[in-house]
């Protein structure tokens, strides 16, 4: 099914229904019931995380440029502090691994669907002298909930990946999360949402990898862990992740983000002990959609590498420093977290 969706996106096919028509009547009551519960709390407006991270690493090398695109998950809706957003976590982690400052620009929009990626990519590429070195895209949940045809969703994503790759940016896609884990959603809607989410995630992987991007599956990260700890891993509206949930997702994406820039200590060599393999792209995409944090990277067509990179703890939550300030001894300010060049939570 994922291959059919991706092929329809590539060759202009029509929408491929993920749910049978007979299920629509059964779902209507479930959808209305879920709407009464999801969003019962208030999700705060996501804080802006744009700015420079790791200023203590300033040197002759130019700062790395990181772009973030996508929906409310990429924007960090559901948390109140800048350092808790995925953008801040990824920028801080990238700065620590590369030992270079990182300039973050986040153009993600809460509520966005894949058709908004064209606008977001245009914003990032508006200045040809400031093209990001690497971009992270997190998109897909709103496409499922708004019943956007999967072929249309994947077509928009592949176009975005192609534009960014053509401009010279590396691209990492965090694929559609597993919507079957949302606590107020009941059966059979829960099962159907899970099925639709995973099919879209697999199709996104095929499309992104064929355009030269890398993908990391978020479905299972927002699956067993969220299902077992809904009070800890969901935010106050029971829909968006909490700070712990975003940290879990960022820990999965960071190794692939660094590997795309050649900064991760592990190579692309396969490790059989971690069930890594080289598979046809469609099969790799299907397996990745079923397991948390799985990376898919293109090899010689039509093959792809299926990897499970070792995760490392993220640096302490950080805040951006848009104006690095020199210290009296000629050094650069460091934050209170102990991570050079970043200010800790609550720091001025």
Question: What is the rounded average pLDDT for all residues in the chain?
Answer: 78
Q: What's the confidence (pLDDT) of residue 5?
A: 62
Q: What is the pTM of this model?
A: 0.80
Q: Which tens digit of pLDDT belongs to each residue from 280-316? A: 999 999 888 888 789 999 988 789 999 888 776 666 6
- Average pLDDT value for residue range 249-276: 86
The DSSP bridge partners found for residue 277 are 306
Q: Which tens digit of pLDDT belongs to each residue from 196-229? A: 888 999 999 999 999 999 999 987 665 444 555 5
**171 touches 137 (CB < 8 A):** yes
CA distance 157 to 165: 12
> Which residues are known catalytic residues?
72, 237, 240
Q: What's the confidence (pLDDT) of residue 257?
A: 96
Q: What's the confidence (pLDDT) of residue 44?
A: 57
C-alpha distances (whole Å) from 289 to each of 112, 174, 197, 215, 286 are 22, 11, 9, 10, 5
Which is nearest to 189 in space by CA: 30, 36, 39, 18?
30
Question: For the chain, how are helix, strand and coil distributed in percent, rounded to 5?
Answer: 45, 15, 45
Q: What's the confidence (pLDDT) of residue 265?
A: 78
CA distance 284 to 234: 29
CA distance 70 to 253: 14
Which is nearest to 129 in space by CA: 72, 194, 62?
62
Q: What percent of the chain has pLDDT over 70?
A: 69
Is the pLDDT at 323 greater than 60, yes or no?
no
């Amino acid at each position: 099914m994922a291959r059919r969706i991706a092929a329809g996106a590539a060759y202009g096919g029509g929408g491929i229904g993920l749910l049978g028509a007979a299920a629509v009547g059964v779902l209507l009551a479930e959808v209305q019931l879920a709407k009464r519960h999801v969003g019962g709390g208030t999700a705060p407006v996501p804080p802006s995380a744009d700015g420079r991270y790791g200023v203590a690493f300033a040197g002759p090398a130019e700062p790395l440029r990181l772009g973030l695109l996508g929906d409310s998950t990429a924007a960090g809706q559901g948390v109140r502090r800048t350092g808790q957003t995925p953008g801040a976590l990824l920028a801080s982690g990238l700065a620590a691994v590369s030992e270079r400052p990182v300039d973050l620009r986040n153009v993600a929009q809460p509520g966005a669907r894949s058709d908004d990626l064209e606008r977001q990519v245009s914003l990032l590429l508006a200045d040809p002298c400031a093209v990001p070195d690497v971009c992270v895209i997190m998109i897909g949940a709103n496409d499922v909930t708004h019943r956007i045809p999967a072929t249309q969703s994947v077509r928009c994503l592949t176009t975005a990946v192609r534009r960014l790759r053509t401009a010279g940016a590396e691209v990492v896609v965090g694929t559609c999360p597993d919507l079957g884990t949302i606590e107020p959603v009941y059966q059979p809607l829960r099962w159907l949402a899970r099925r639709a989410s995973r099919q879209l995630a697999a199709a996104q992987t095929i499309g992104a990898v064929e355009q030269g991007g890398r993908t990391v599956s978020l479905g299972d990260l927002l699956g067993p862990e969220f299902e077992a700890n809904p009070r800890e891993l969901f935010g106050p509206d029971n829909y968006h992740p909490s700070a712990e949930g975003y940290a879990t997702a960022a820990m999965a994406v960071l190794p692939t983000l660094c590997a795309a820039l050649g900064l991760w200590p592990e190579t692309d060599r396969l490790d059989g002990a971690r069930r890594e393999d080289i598979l046809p792209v469609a099969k790799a995409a299907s397996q990745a959609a079923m397991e948390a944090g799985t990376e898919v990277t293109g090899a010689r067509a039509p093959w792809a590498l299926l990897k499970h990179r070792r995760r490392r703890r993220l640096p302490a939550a950080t805040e951006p420093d848009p104006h690095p300030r020199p210290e009296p001894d000629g050094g650069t300010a460091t934050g209170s977290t102990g991570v050079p060049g970043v200010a800790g939570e609550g720091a001025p």
